[in-house]
Chain A
Amino acid sequence: MTEVYLNGKFVGEVENPIDFVNQVKTERRKKKLSHNINIAYNERLDRIEVESGKGRARRPLIIVRDGKPLLTEKHIIQLEKGDLTWSDLVDQGVIEYLDANEEENALVAFTEEELTPKHTHLEIDPLVMLGLTTSLVPYGNYNQSTRLNAGSKNQKQALGFYAANYLVRMDMDVNILHEPQIPIVQSITHEISGYEKHPAGQNIVVAVMSYEGYNMEDAIILNRASIDRGLARNTYYRPAISEELRYSGGLIDEIGIPDKEVKGYKSEKDYRFLEDDGIVYPEAEVAEGDVIIGKTSPPRFLSSMDEYNIATNTRRESSFAMRHGEKGVIDFVLVTENEEGHKLVQVRIRDQRIPEVGDKFTSRHGQKGVVGLIVSPPDMPFTASGITPDLIFSPHGIPSRMTIAHLIELLGGKVGALSGRYIDGTTFNSEKEADLRRELLSLGFAENGTETMYNGQTGEKFQAKIYVGNMYYLKLKHMVANKIHSRARGPIQLLTRQPTEGRAKEGGLRLGEMEKDTFVAHGASLLLKERFDSDKIIIPVCENCGMIAVHDEYKNKSHCPLCGESVEITDVEMSYAFKLMLDELKSMGIYPKLQLKSKY
């Protein structure tokens, strides 16, 4: 007797498990049972598991009987005419959905050719083994699987046209690509997913060659002429949000131009773009430090004494200003209320981004790289017909990564661009490379996609023939403008007096422990000391008790709070962090006594 479980609960037993399972399946295909039911016979545990609950991943397959798929030519003709829909096929029992458990009992063929009488199902297309983004990689079956992974990851970071209503949205960190195009070399997924409604790249001319070493280590070289004509430009949008918060005691934030008496008032110049309501006007060209939304807040701590003290009752400045190193144009101003009914101001800032050295680009095959050089058009290599490439890609990226599809796409792109049609590069089901080559030959080009090219700087002919063609390139959201950072002097932390950390806080670049070790290894003792001088401090120390003494600037005299004025007090240089540690030890009741001695 075989036990039967429905959604994990025991419901009964059956005599003949295989017959039972088959019967359920037939009933289901005849629509007598719900399509949502899946049944599987677990031979090892000798039990039948029936599932009808939600949350199972299921996928459609064509049912096969006696080695013949139930989906016939007739169905396809009807489908094309529109007489038949997908759900009709499911209802007719031609296609059924299997869950992971039922799949264990099935034998699924990838293609019609490999069908045997043993098979129970047929894949609708071998492409279904890939996910959505991965199936957007053309000629994916010519790539190593790791590259497909990298390629699909890169595509998710590409700039494009993410939503048609972006102009009325207030999204964080949005990029819109100017003049996006749909790829010449496509896969069927592009059609199915409506890629033409949200494209994310541009078709450009790529030459596979090196150029003065500026495309080493995956770097790429761009043609300035292409950039000037608008290649890979995008607009970057970032909102500034500020709201009037309410505090205890009936105090409230106030959006408006702050008074000069306000604590933390910046300078008149910083508020120059604000209109009377304290908000910038649209199309103002703002830069670092400019205030976008003026706001003042009530004093932070209101002790009982302060209520009678008018002098301390000043408000604080809490405006929203442009961050360090950022610039832009005010795009859109929105004044509304938030959920609690407080005034909410949202201002969208726009900034045009033109490709520059350091921006990241990629093809769809995980061949990502950073712009290493932008070359002016006369210096660019050109073909016999006078074509200059938009982008130069280094051939060293190919052998170790084995992205053959990258090369085929280039060839396909060339054929497509020359003959004015789209190339089908669907994984497992693409136009044959040999056909592309033949077509290229008939178009009057070398069959292998190479062309004679000339050095743009000297005019000399290159000895090697250069592989040039068209490819779909994507600009990725990692742009230098958002990442570049340097500092000579800048803000420090209150507690340790050491430089702040991170780009957002204009922080310093840490010379870490291992970097310190290299200085030690070189014996560069004094250089190391100088590098760590960022929190250096000179402290008077009482030689009698070894504690920190006090220097009275007014009298220009030092005294020790413990031992008085008649003791020797010496100035000692140390790091503030160490002084902090001494203070912390003291707070724990530990007496850290400094015994002074000349170092040498």
Chain B
Amino acid sequence: MEELFKEYEDKIPAILLEELKSSIDKKTTKTQLKKMLEALYEEYLESMVEPGESVGIISAESIGEPSTQMTLNTFHFAGVAEMNVTMGLPRIIEILDARKNIKTPMMEVYLKEPYNKGKDIRKVAELIKETKMSDIIQEVSINILEATITVKLDRQKMKDLEVRDSSVKRAVEKQLKSGQVKIEGDEVLIKVKSKDDSLNDLYKLKEKMKSIYLKGVKGITQVLPVKRKDEFVIITAGSNLKDTFKLEFVDTERTTSNDIMEVYENLGIEAARAAIINEVYRVIESQGLNVDIRHIMLIADTMTASGSVKGITRYGVVSDKSSVLARASFETPIKHLINASLVGETDPLNSVIENVMLNQPIPVGTGLPGLITKVKK
């Protein structure tokens, strides 16, 4: 039995062999198994894409056609905190371009036991949310003569967010770096070092003071605990995987972000590939459209094959094409023609567009007779 499986190890993917292994029972004879393996191998060959099939164009058409029907481009989260998420065509473009700064970065933070059971889930969520000075301020006033800024603190909010006076003082001192900080009752007094500073500088300082980081994960502006099956997950607006993973209650194995570049930087290229597939598939699914996942996988593969995430843009995947004419036909033709002529580039005319331009048979399908028959040299 085992040898038989061994024989087919190189021919059939392991996952299929595993499946067959688990489905046979003790009654199966050797000849029966042999027949099964043969049939499986045949079926496997049948389901492979034939050589010369234009998989790229087919994928492009399969995704391009339904995307013309996408309409709604935002998606609203129901809940206490209103959250909008970019969806539809704008989101797909965003993913395929491999944008560095996406419109609505989000994370799905999974929690370790026992935090995910829902006890104090709001409190846990608040720990992830970034708290800034502006969140606990009631009123700000500037004294021009004394060159001081007086900040009235909102005690109730501070209590809710669990911010202590001492930490406020420390943060302001450390991050503002100018002048003395004193806390008197509900008020924070900031005294600027030199009185020579102009009014303009004082205003700038005031604005800077508002954005002082106090606690939580930087970049997370909103949090929303959501129940998924039998556990709680926290959905965040804003994404920061690196700092989130430092929190001890976060399940680092399942937590993800919708920011592909961030996934790539923190979890590696395979994770980025998976993220592209998931994100594109989710958008298409949410529109009620049906695209085979293999088309999306092909796109994710082309974007990540080089080891870094490259967008389907003239700076990304297209710039890697070997043909000058193919690159020139996409965008900025003059740039490509000039550079090619400067270095004396050769175009081997191996791909589709070049051959369409030259009115030559394209090397797909019937354009590849060499696959079936010997052609004269």
Which residue of A526, A575, A590, A595 contacts B357 across the interface (Cβ within 8 Å)?
Answer: A575
> Which residues of chain B from 41 to 56 have any CB-CB distance to chain A below 8 Å in the complex?
52-54
Cβ-defined contact, A521 with B58, below 8 A:
yes
Query: B127 at interface (Cβ–Cβ under 8 A)?
Result: no
Q: Residue of A at shortest CB range from B352? A: A520
Which residues from chain A contact B58 at a C-beta distance below 8 Å? 521
Cβ-defined contact, A532 with B359, below 8 A:
yes
Give the docked Cα–Cα distance between A528 and B360 (Å): 9
Give the docked Cα–Cα distance between A258 and B155 (Å): 100
Give the docked Cα–Cα distance between A418 and B337 (Å): 77
**Interface segment, one of B187-195, B258-266, B362-370:** B362-370
Cβ-defined contact, A529 with B359, below 8 A:
yes
> Which residues of chain A from 573 to 600 have any CB-CB distance to chain B below 8 Å in the complex?
573-575, 577-578, 581, 585, 590-591, 595, 598-600
A1 CB to closest chain B CB (Å) equals 33
Query: A525 at interface (Cβ–Cβ under 8 A)?
Result: yes
Give the docked Cα–Cα distance between A599 and B368 (Å): 10
Which residues from chain A contact B53 at a C-beta distance below 8 Å? 523
Query: B361 at interface (Cβ–Cβ under 8 A)?
Result: yes
Cβ-defined contact, B360 with A523, below 8 A:
no
In the complex, number of A-B residue pairs with CB atoms less than 8 Å apart: 74
Interface string of A530-541 (1 = CB under 8 A from B): 001101100000
Cβ-defined contact, A536 with B359, below 8 A:
yes
Query: B356 at interface (Cβ–Cβ under 8 A)?
Result: yes
Cβ-defined contact, B356 with A532, below 8 A:
yes
Query: A105 at interface (Cβ–Cβ under 8 A)?
Result: no
A580 CB to closest chain B CB (Å) equals 11
Give the docked Cα–Cα distance between A520 and B61 (Å): 11
Which residues from chain A contact B366 at a C-beta distance below 8 Å? 523-527
Interface string of B331-364 (1 = CB under 8 A from A): 0000001000100001000001000111111111
Cβ-defined contact, A520 with B357, below 8 A:
no
Query: B119 at interface (Cβ–Cβ under 8 A)?
Result: no
Interface string of A487-530 (1 = CB under 8 A from B): 00000000000000000000000000000111011111111110
Q: Residue of B at shortest CB range from A600? A: B375
Cβ-defined contact, B61 with A517, below 8 A:
yes
Query: B174 at interface (Cβ–Cβ under 8 A)?
Result: no
A599 CB to closest chain B CB (Å) equals 7
B369 CB to closest chain A CB (Å) equals 6
Interface string of A89-130 (1 = CB under 8 A from B): 000000000000000000000000000000000000000000
Which residues from chain A contact B368 at a C-beta distance below 8 Å? 525
Give the docked Cα–Cα distance between A197 and B346 (Å): 74
Count, chain B residues at interface, CB 8 A: 29
Give the docked Cα–Cα distance between A535 and B359 (Å): 9
Cβ-defined contact, B360 with A529, below 8 A:
yes
A121 CB to closest chain B CB (Å) equals 42
Q: Residue of B at shortest CB range from A575? A: B359
A538 CB to closest chain B CB (Å) equals 11
Cβ-defined contact, A525 with B358, below 8 A:
no
Query: B376 at interface (Cβ–Cβ under 8 A)?
Result: yes
Give the docked Cα–Cα distance between A19 and B190 (Å): 54
Which residues from chain A contact B363 at a C-beta distance below 8 Å? 525
Residue among B359, B364, B366 with the most chain A CB within 10 A? B359
Give the docked Cα–Cα distance between A460 and B346 (Å): 76
Cβ-defined contact, B377 with A520, below 8 A:
no
Which residue of A516, A525, A591, A598 contacts B365 across the interface (Cβ within 8 Å)?
Answer: A525
Which residue of A517, A533, A578 contacts B358 across the interface (Cβ within 8 Å)?
Answer: A578
Query: B39 at interface (Cβ–Cβ under 8 A)?
Result: no
Q: Residue of A at shortest CB range from B62? A: A521
A294 CB to closest chain B CB (Å) equals 42
Cβ-defined contact, A523 with B365, below 8 A:
yes
Give the docked Cα–Cα distance between A522 and B377 (Å): 27
Q: Residue of A at shortest CB range from B374? A: A600
Give the docked Cα–Cα distance between A580 and B357 (Å): 11
B residues whose Cβ falls under 8 Å from a Cβ of A: 52-54, 57-58, 60-61, 337, 341, 346, 352, 356-370, 375-377
Closest 8 CB pairs of A and B: A523-B365, A525-B367, A575-B359, A600-B375, A590-B341, A525-B366, A521-B57, A525-B362
